[in-house]
């Protein structure tokens, strides 16, 4: 239930931001895609900040985990057993 409430809260926040900057919802495709990119990159701020605070190296994390999360699997590389199949089917 909590993920649904968090999703609703995030949606409300985005709706308020859209109203403040004068963008209608649903947003035009380019604005929506840039917003999605911002969400993907923004999700990585917390893990990077935690590593910085803990004094852990972050460059390898950004190049590996963050890049894989934001960009998806790179073309030409085979999926490993740890990565879910793109369609959600095994």
Quick: pLDDT tens for 60-89: 888 888 878 777 776 666 555 455 545 544
The two three-digit tokens of residue 44, written as one number: 């990585």
Given this model, what pLDDT does residue 53 score?
93
Given this model, what pLDDT does residue 90 score?
43
Sequence-ordered list of residues with C-beta below 8 angstroms from that of 75, at least 6 positions apart, any chain: none
DSSP secondary-structure letter at 27? P
Q: Are 48 and 61 in contact (CB under 8 A)?
A: yes
- pLDDT tens string 8-67: 888 888 888 888 988 777 767 787 788 788 888 888 888 889 989 999 888 888 888 887
């Amino acid at each position: 239930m909590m993920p649904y409430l968090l999703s609703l809260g995030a949606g409300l926040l985005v709706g308020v931001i859209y109203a403040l900057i004068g963008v209608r919802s649903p947003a035009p495709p380019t604005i929506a895609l840039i917003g999605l990119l911002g969400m993907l990159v923004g999700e990585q701020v917390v893990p990077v900040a935690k590593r910085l605070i803990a004094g852990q190296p972050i460059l390898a994390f950004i190049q590996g985990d963050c890049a894989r999360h934001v960009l998806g699997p790179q073309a030409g590389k085979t999926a490993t057993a740890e990565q879910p199949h793109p369609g959600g089917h095994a």
